[in-house]
Amino acid sequence: MEIYLDVLILENIVMNYLILWTSGKLSKMRTSNLRLFMGALLGAAYAAFLVVRPDMKVYCTAIAKILLSIAMVTITFFPGKFVSFIKILVMFYISTFVFAGASFALIYLNNQGALVKNGMIYVYWQSKWITIFLSIITAVIILKIFQEIIQYKFIREKLLTGLRIIFESKQTDIAALIDTGNSLYDPLSNMPVIIVEFNAIKNILPTEICNIFESSIENDFTLMTDQLYSSKWFNRFRLIPFSSLGKENGMLIGFKPDYVEIGDDDEKKGISDVVIGIYNNVLSKGEHYKALLSPDLL
């Protein structure tokens, strides 16, 4: 039985990439193309290793395969919480079973020979055009990764800056994008608003405020105001109307921090007259930044 290592690696990279991508969509966990590729490459490397060293029986056990899936999920998604990790791991197994079933059906309908053993899949395609097709898909994935890296380098050099937020003796450091489209001001104090992802600052927020976003009730005006009113930090928080971020006539929960520092280590600017608007979603698809900063604050 002849197995071409390059075809084996290509097939498993494409299959693993699709499985991980589907798992992310089902669990609503974001990641980058680079992380998806690294997770897929790890799975493909495992399959190639089993072909090269079939005598290493310890790597064919169920425990080894479970550890592999855990490593692939961790590399791809970096889940911060145990609950999130279990969620994405379950979705990974569901996606794996679905893709495996679809692969078997495709092989059966097209009368293709295949080898599925120890977590490895290898299809004996009758046409070499399939290999070319797999190569093109892999090349597209790699090109998307390079495009993402180049875009990130441009953004970092031109538009990214450091942001430190201090609130009640707690602080967090995040990357902020200088956004010319962010002209949001607090209507009561007329202070500029820095829009920040909830997940980036939840470690410095009071528990009752975190509950609003973790329960996804920030859009329920009645429940939201009840939670804010019961907080001892009520006078530090406010509601900010906005018409952006993909939503018209929305309401953003904001708070007055003790202090913020804008800039990198060599150049930092301290500001106290500013409001932090909490956004319960992701601002950057590639997780390059966690906040939107008005140029007026520089």
Is residue 155 within 8 A of residue 241, CB to CB? The reply is: no
Beta bridge partners of 237: 255
The pLDDT score that the predictor gives to residue 225 is: 72
- The residue-averaged pLDDT of 67-90 equals 87
What three-state secondary structure class fits 165? strand
> What amino acid is encoded at 231 in this protein?
S
Query: Does pLDDT of 157 surpass 70?
Result: no
- Which helix (H) or strand (E) element contains residue 200? helix 198-201
State the fold for domain 160-297: Cathepsin D, subunit A; domain 1 (2.40.70)
CA nearest to 272, candidates 262, 281, 282: 262
Does residue 124 surpass a pLDDT of 60?
no
Q: Report the range out of 22-31, 80-89, 163-172, 216-225 with the highest average pLDDT.
A: 163-172
Mean pLDDT value across residues 276-282: 87
Percent of residues, the chain, with pLDDT higher than 90: 8
Q: How far is CA 261 from the centre of its chain?
A: 26
CA 179 to CA 255: how far, in whole Å?
A: 20
- pLDDT-above-70 percentage for the chain: 76
| Chain segment 20-61, per-residue pLDDT in tens | 988 888 887 878 888 898 999 998 898 888 888 877 777 778
List the domain boundaries for the chain: 5-156, 160-297
Q: What is d(CA 180, CA 203) in angstroms, rounded to the nearest whole number?
A: 28
* Average pLDDT value for residue range 55-78: 85
Do the Cβ atoms of 14 and 37 come closer than 8 Å?
Answer: no
Residue-level pLDDT at 71: 93
Helix and strand counts by DSSP (H, E) for the chain? 8, 11
Please, where are the H alpha helices in 78-193? Answer: 82-109, 128-158
Mean predicted lDDT score pLDDT of the chain: 78
What is the pLDDT, as a whole number, of residue 196?
92
User: Which of 16-30, 91-105, 117-131 reaches the highest mean pLDDT?
Assistant: 16-30
Q: How far apart are CA 21 and CA 137, in angstroms?
A: 14
Q: Which residues have C-beta within 8 Å of that of residue 198, sequence separation ≥ 6?
A: 213, 278, 279, 280
In angstroms, how far is CA 223 from the centroid of its own chain? 29
Whole-number Å distance between alpha carbons of 118 and 113: 17
Higher per-residue pLDDT: 104 or 164 = 164
Residue 148, helix vs strand vs coil: helix
What would the mean pLDDT of 207-234 be, rounded to a whole number? 74
**Which of the pair, 242 or 269, is modelled with greater confidence?**
269
φ, ψ dihedrals at 244, nearest 5°? -155, -160
Largest CA distance in the chain: 75
